[in-house]
A and B are shown apart, each in its own frame.
Chain A
Amino acid sequence: MTHLPSLVRVAPPRRLFLNSALVLAATAPGCKSPEPMMNPPSGARFALRSGDAKASVAAMMRAAIDMQHNGEPLAEAMGRDLAGYDRSALRPDVYTDPATQQAKPDLVGYSSAVESYEYSKLMMNYLSFESGAGLSLMYGPLLNPTAQTGMAAIALLRSRVQALALASRAGVDMNGPWVIVPAPVNNPLNLLGFPGLWPQFAELARFDTAIEASGNVQRGCSLEGGYGASAGSKITVGDYECGYNSLHIARERAELALHTEALGNAAWKQALWVINYLQLAHDTSGAQWSHIAAAALDQVGKVGNSVQADNNDGKEKGLPGTYIGASDLEGFQALLMTEQIDNKAELLLRRLVSDGTSLVGFADSAAALSYDYQAPLRFFPSQFSVTEQAGQGGADPQPTAYAPLAQESTLASLSSLLAAYAEAFALTDLTNSSVGGSSTVRPVFDGDPFAKDNGMPDGEATLHDRSLAVIKLSLVNIDRVHFDSASGALCDSATVAAGGTVSRTRRASASEAARVISALRTGYRALTAQLTLYSDATPDTLVTTTALDGTSLRGVPGGVALASRIQQLIKAQADVLRTRLVDASGLATNFYDFAQGQGDSQPTRIESQAAAVVGLLDAYLATGQSTYRDLAILAYDVLEKRFHVPALATYRTTLGVDDAFTWTPERFAVVQSALSRMYVLVASRPGGDSLRAPLEARLARLNKLVLNGWDDANDNGQVDYPGECVKPPSGLSSGLMLAERALTGELGSDQGALTADRDRDCVVEIDDAKRAAVLGSSITLAPMLASPLPATSTLGAAKQ
């Protein structure tokens, strides 16, 4: 994943590189440097001063996307074989080299491959299937177009869930294995066939994570395949893993608000994982296969089919009977999330589009696809209120009306929608041989269970065309609503008045600049059939045509092709980063105000500095220009020199503020991404060897301290339990991750005894934490220092 294509010529800036390496080598505590310890060698050096255990969905899912990218893919980039980790191990952080069978401590590998990666999946699963923290899929506009209520609405969703379960073989008969087929009748514990399943099509913006998860465990709930592969067989797990009735949030107390950014980030994360799950198909024995003969594709997923999949190597074949997804459960979840993404697209296009005065929507996806730079302005407001009526006959609460909370468009919202539906479009794009065109994905969109498309952007009632419509509306409005031609920058937000009059803030922040570059890259790669599962860290290939070229594109600035315009926007925002948001020394400013002609006067926050690293490296991948990467390395040097606190082996989160370090999901994720990108794009290159160990140490420490709340005070690489777990105030957990589950080793019991923190990693099981396994909104760590930290300069760059 780190190979550079021939189109991009990269000349490593050796001097800068060596400087960075020297700084890192001198300061990295994780590599057992002789860094002075200012505290006793045992017990946490931090106190958790405060936190917010509510979940902010936009931030949480944004972090989840990054945590996935910085999970297994990063571990592989670091040279680990994923088979060397046992997520159910009693002692975490161990890597057993499959080649030599030698075990060794591996904090960064385990925290990336298992914890970061699986935590991100826990959050997605919780939102998608378990929590009820959204608008119930039984009222999805595609699933239930006539707004049926009560038992009729339940029946529609039940029928769809049953169909998806059959296609993935998650449901075979009354014994499941996951979904009871047919669904039980007259059983409020199990309306759909899977106990407590509560799928959503639009996630609420915030919710209280307090739950009363069941404290019981069971053996009949098999977590094989993706879930329990490391265990190799049936393992006893918390019974909430196989029945979600005790995982629902207090839905009646939830704030009924939707944030477009949250909708986008949730769909982005779901689509990423759908691509992942659909990379393989499975047979009736559960064996995974990567190829299906073209002639048999239409039979895949059909009950009783006799298709035999293979690995396209002329060798072994699967058992007769091939079903969708890498496993029965993963296939089912992939299909259900696809249904959610599809219904969300319909909601967005039909109900959540404004003309600046009120919500008008588009008549269909064809109308949305005809939107261009000269059409009457239509846009997605950033926030909505929702009106619901109580569900009848056991049905979920039913949304009845939506209203924008402000006629405001935000760059963050459009970035998230663009990337989300770019990933979704890739799934349906037959010209993308790695994703939509692969033989394991094509059976999903061949008419059953999802509608087949003709491959043209012509407004068919398919996920293909709905995704293109959302992409187009987002992409055009990023340009039309947010691009300030005077400054050449994409501004963070804008308000739209009646008649489509746009008023921009004329302010660009480092965080949003990095995000929009990432989203534009994702959209570009999807529309040009380059997007693959983890292609975000590989250079883009320049092309001239996109999947939207067949639609109306009147008024594209400069009259260039859409592909060129996307490249121009990426370049423009990259230059804003390079010239306005980062100074020559690499220090970032939080934002640049073009109206005032100056940067933020407040001290630089770590997310701005880290975003500069990420955004510049993304710009390098998009353009191939090494100047961006050179500046990214300088920005990283600043992250090391001015934000990192050697005495505490962590980062200060705001320059000049040393008594409290506040971490949010977004802040954590962008710092993790900066370190990860530096590893993959700088340290992994020839000559970057000396950077690897320091970066691994930083990543390990970041993951362990901020996510888990483990402060390895004596630097021995082991959790001295529980003394090194940061002590939380009541109602909080040790770290940002509020709790964990079977996916990361909390099985609920060990050797017949109930456990609360089975693997002793400071993150407790959900039924003991009484919290969902998601990220809280913030934690503030207060260092317990014997003497004050060295003073730092606080101001960021403020270029004129």
Chain B
Amino acid sequence: MSQPVDIRTACALGLRVWAALAALYVGLLLVSARGSLLFADGYDGVGFVLAVTDFDLSRFQPHPPGFPLLVLCSRLLHAVFAVSPSLSVALVSALLLPLGLGAVSMWLAVLHGRAAALWFALLAGPNILVWGLGVATLSDGAGLGLTLAALSAVAGALSTGSRRLAVVAGVLSGCALGVRPQSAALLALGLASLVVYVGWLRRPWQRPLVIAAATSLFVGLAWLPPLVLTVGPQRFAALCLSHARGHFADFGGRVLGTPADARLASIQLFLRTLAAALGPVLLVGLALCGLWLARHRRTIEIGTYFSGVFFLVSATAYLALALLAVRVTGDGRHLGPVPVLVAAAMAPVLTTAARRRGLRVALLTVAVAAALLNARAVLAFRRNPAAGAQLAAALPDCSVPVYGARAARYVDLRCGAGTAQPAVYLGEVLSDLARRSNPPREVFVTSEVIASPASQRRLRSVGRFCLAADVPSILRIESTPRPPKSTSLYVDTPGCVELFAYRVLP
């Protein structure tokens, strides 16, 4: 096992990890975009993308309570670099998720040495689920990155007593709250575990913690009063409550939603989802590692792990939280942090295992191969040229995005002024559905016209068509004041071909 490094060296290492992973994610985004527009991920992704140009929580309802810092960051990227709205939202994830991974690397370097930090970066960064979040038009990746960075900064502040680091931690925490308010739960758990850890080490912790908490609240909630005042308290509360109710009422049951789901098929589905999240290569790596340790009767120094208790506590707590999230939302992307935490826990073990040259080469080979396979999978997931060509043929006046067909996709189309092509396309797809026997078991259509008097832009139609017969949902057509939600971004919905939103440019 390599020797721990000083904090300055660790910081430099963390920054390099950040830069490398950010380059990887941004590069993938640019490759998959190929000069066209990226699709948005799920209903929430559409909301964020559309919010880049029209942030009106009351009218367009971009995922209440609005995630204003995420939208602000995306809007800045959109304005400064003239990239598309969907790419700008994805770039926020691509830049902020590696920030958290870099921070974790930094602490692993401090605790276990440079090798552990690099093993972590190699395992966590290219993991298929982490990578997916890093290129998604969602808040999950950005929120996770900022949260991990904030926790790292808090740990640093507590362990060193640095007020400056406490302020940084507070700012990062506040940003995490603004980018993804759900981070509050993770931050609270992380802070509690840090307090236990620092108290156990008999270090002074009260003052940095107060500073960090106060700064966090100030930064994190700065957006709330103006947002509430703009929308109106009653409307704001109604939006948030209806969204929360939607999670429970509409999304439950996909994985382990109700007691009735506690049956073998549901459990298998859950395990498949978990396996997909962790990545089969990673699991194989773990198994090989365990076999090697058992064969050579190598014991792991328990003391090595004392310094990583907060990771384990956080990992355990977050695993429970993630399971709860999956349970109530049926959405596998909430498992995103799990590979990060598992990789952090694995890193010292791999560092120990890799002392032997042959094994080190083998493990490195496996890790690089896994990264390459994951890259291929992520790219395939995000691109389907055949389907894209089909859509492009149907919508010649529109900018057709790279197009995903493996799971439910929202496609953010940009069409010429006033074009009716998407409406024609949607109408004909729906007409086709109505003519079929045993049609898709899940159809959502909304044709709400949302007109902005100021811009005259219109979000005309959002539809979702899952052409699989085995999606256990109710067939219905809905006309709702907002687009229907995606129920199963990473859960099993084979055959869902498209899901698109578009707006007509003024």
Report if B217 contacts A (CB, 8 A).
Answer: no
Complexed CA–CA distance, A188 and B81 (Å): 48
Min Cβ gap A553→B in Å is 53
Q: Which residues of B contact A768 (CB under 8 A)?
A: 449
Report if B420 contacts A (CB, 8 A).
Answer: yes
In chain A, residues 230-266, which have Cβ atoms closer than 8 Å to a Cβ of chain B?
A: 236, 238-239, 242-243, 245-246
Min Cβ gap B200→A in Å is 60
Complexed CA–CA distance, A221 and B439 (Å): 20
Q: Which residues of A contact B460 (CB under 8 A)?
A: 215, 754
Closest to B426 in A: A216
Q: Which residues of A contact B250 (CB under 8 A)?
A: none
Complexed CA–CA distance, A243 and B433 (Å): 11
Q: Which residues of B contact A220 (CB under 8 A)?
A: 428, 431
- Please state if B434 and A195 are interface contacts (CB–CB under 8 Å): yes
Q: Which residues of B contact A246 (CB under 8 A)?
A: 445, 447, 477, 479
- Please state if A212 and B437 are interface contacts (CB–CB under 8 Å): no
Known pairs A187-B436, A187-B438, A219-B424; A752 contacts B419 (CB<8 A): yes
Min Cβ gap B303→A in Å is 64
Complexed CA–CA distance, A745 and B226 (Å): 47
Complexed CA–CA distance, A216 and B397 (Å): 16
Complexed CA–CA distance, A749 and B419 (Å): 9
- Please state if A190 and B417 are interface contacts (CB–CB under 8 Å): no
Binds B, one of A178-186, A418-426, A792-800: A178-186
In chain B, residues 443-489, which have Cβ atoms closer than 8 Å to a Cβ of chain A?
A: 443, 445, 447-449, 458, 460-461, 475-477, 479
Report if A108 contacts B (CB, 8 A).
Answer: no
- Please state if B430 and A187 are interface contacts (CB–CB under 8 Å): no
Complexed CA–CA distance, A186 and B434 (Å): 11
Q: Which residues of B contact A216 (CB under 8 A)?
A: 423-424, 426-427, 430, 447, 461
Which one, B420, B435, B449, B476, contacts A217 given CB within 8 A? B420
- Please state if B424 and A180 are interface contacts (CB–CB under 8 Å): no
- Please state if B439 and A245 are interface contacts (CB–CB under 8 Å): no
Complexed CA–CA distance, A188 and B433 (Å): 10
- Please state if B434 and A187 are interface contacts (CB–CB under 8 Å): yes
Complexed CA–CA distance, A680 and B428 (Å): 46
Report if B227 contacts A (CB, 8 A).
Answer: no
Which one, A184, A188, A239, contacts B431 given CB within 8 A? A239
Complexed CA–CA distance, A216 and B423 (Å): 4
Residue-wise interface mask of B (41-61) relative to A, using a CB-CB cutoff of 8 A (1 in contact, 0 not): 000000000000000000000
Known pairs A189-B443, A190-B434; A245 contacts B423 (CB<8 A): no
Complexed CA–CA distance, A8 and B437 (Å): 62
In chain A, residues 179-226, which have Cβ atoms closer than 8 Å to a Cβ of chain B?
A: 180, 184-190, 195-196, 212-221
- Please state if B434 and A217 are interface contacts (CB–CB under 8 Å): no
Report if B418 contacts A (CB, 8 A).
Answer: yes
Residue-wise interface mask of B (65-86) relative to A, using a CB-CB cutoff of 8 A (1 in contact, 0 not): 0000000000000000000000
Closest to A756 in B: B449
Q: Which residues of B contact A217 (CB under 8 A)?
A: 420, 423-424, 427
Closest to B396 in A: A752
Report if A536 contacts B (CB, 8 A).
Answer: no
Known pairs A186-B438, A188-B475; A218 contacts B420 (CB<8 A): no
Complexed CA–CA distance, A505 and B436 (Å): 58
Report if A753 contacts B (CB, 8 A).
Answer: yes
Report if A23 contacts B (CB, 8 A).
Answer: no
Number of interface residues of B (CB under 8 A): 33
Report if A586 contacts B (CB, 8 A).
Answer: no
- Please state if A239 and B438 are interface contacts (CB–CB under 8 Å): no
- Please state if A754 and B420 are interface contacts (CB–CB under 8 Å): yes
Closest to A180 in B: B435
Residue-wise interface mask of A (760-780) relative to B, using a CB-CB cutoff of 8 A (1 in contact, 0 not): 000000011000000000000
Among B397, B437, B445, chain A packs the most CB atoms within 10 A around the CB of B437
Report if B266 contacts A (CB, 8 A).
Answer: no
- Please state if B447 and A767 are interface contacts (CB–CB under 8 Å): yes
Which one, A188, A752, A767, contacts B421 given CB within 8 A? A752
Report if A321 contacts B (CB, 8 A).
Answer: no
Report if A174 contacts B (CB, 8 A).
Answer: yes
Report if B504 contacts A (CB, 8 A).
Answer: yes
Q: Which residues of B contact A92 (CB under 8 A)?
A: none
Among B419, B438, B479, chain A packs the most CB atoms within 10 A around the CB of B479
Q: Which residues of A contact B449 (CB under 8 A)?
A: 215, 767-768
Known pairs A187-B437, A189-B475; A213 contacts B447 (CB<8 A): yes
The size bracket of the interface on A is: 35 or more
- Please state if B418 and A753 are interface contacts (CB–CB under 8 Å): yes
- Please state if A242 and B431 are interface contacts (CB–CB under 8 Å): yes
Q: Which residues of B contact A185 (CB under 8 A)?
A: 437-438
Q: Which residues of A contact B436 (CB under 8 A)?
A: 184, 187
Q: Which residues of B contact A195 (CB under 8 A)?
A: 431, 434-435
Report if A709 contacts B (CB, 8 A).
Answer: no
Complexed CA–CA distance, A754 and B426 (Å): 13
Complexed CA–CA distance, A71 and B461 (Å): 36
Q: Which residues of A contact B430 (CB under 8 A)?
A: 214, 216, 239, 243
Complexed CA–CA distance, A754 and B449 (Å): 11
Closest to A768 in B: B449
Known pairs A185-B438, A189-B477, A215-B447; A752 contacts B427 (CB<8 A): no
Min Cβ gap A704→B in Å is 26
Known pairs A189-B443, A215-B447, A246-B447; A184 contacts B423 (CB<8 A): no
Min Cβ gap B432→A in Å is 8
Which one, A186, A196, A239, A749, contacts B437 given CB within 8 A? A186
- Please state if B448 and A190 are interface contacts (CB–CB under 8 Å): no
Complexed CA–CA distance, A184 and B438 (Å): 7
Q: Which residues of A contact B447 (CB under 8 A)?
A: 212-216, 246, 767
In chain B, residues 398-443, which have Cβ atoms closer than 8 Å to a Cβ of chain A?
A: 417-421, 423-424, 426-428, 430-431, 433-439, 443
Closest to A238 in B: B427
Q: Which residues of A contact B423 (CB under 8 A)?
A: 215-217, 748-749, 754
- Please state if A187 and B439 are interface contacts (CB–CB under 8 Å): yes
Q: Which residues of B contact A245 (CB under 8 A)?
A: 434, 477
Known pairs A187-B439, A212-B447, A767-B449; A753 contacts B419 (CB<8 A): yes
- Please state if B439 and A184 are interface contacts (CB–CB under 8 Å): yes
- Please state if B418 and A754 are interface contacts (CB–CB under 8 Å): yes
Min Cβ gap B463→A in Å is 8
Min Cβ gap A791→B in Å is 43
- Please state if B477 and A184 are interface contacts (CB–CB under 8 Å): no
Min Cβ gap A97→B in Å is 33
- Please state if A189 and B424 are interface contacts (CB–CB under 8 Å): no
Complexed CA–CA distance, A195 and B445 (Å): 15
Q: Which residues of A contact B419 (CB under 8 A)?
A: 752-754
Min Cβ gap B433→A in Å is 6
Min Cβ gap B397→A in Å is 7
Which one, B397, B424, B443, contacts A236 given CB within 8 A? B424
- Please state if B420 and A752 are interface contacts (CB–CB under 8 Å): yes
Among B418, B424, B428, B458, chain A packs the most CB atoms within 10 A around the CB of B424
Which one, A189, A215, A219, A752, contacts B461 given CB within 8 A? A215
Closest 9 CB pairs of A and B: A216-B427, A212-B479, A239-B427, A753-B418, A218-B427, A195-B434, A215-B447, A749-B420, A184-B437
Known contacts A246-B445, A749-B424; 13 additional CB pairs below 8 A are A185-B438, A196-B434, A213-B447, A220-B428, A221-B431, A236-B420, A243-B431, A246-B479, A748-B420, A748-B423, A752-B397, A754-B420, A754-B458
Please list 26 pairs of residues, one from A and one from B, whose beta carbons are closer than 8 Å in the complex, sorted by A's number.
A184-B435, A184-B436, A189-B433, A189-B439, A189-B475, A190-B435, A195-B435, A212-B479, A214-B427, A214-B430, A216-B430, A217-B424, A218-B424, A220-B428, A220-B431, A221-B431, A236-B424, A238-B427, A239-B430, A242-B431, A243-B431, A749-B420, A749-B424, A752-B418, A754-B420, A767-B449
Which residues of B are interface residues toward A (Cβ below 8 A)? Answer: 397, 417-421, 423-424, 426-428, 430-431, 433-439, 443, 445, 447-449, 458, 460-461, 475-477, 479, 504
Which residues of A are interface residues toward B (Cβ below 8 A)? Answer: 174, 176, 180, 184-190, 195-196, 212-221, 236, 238-239, 242-243, 245-246, 748-749, 752-754, 767-768
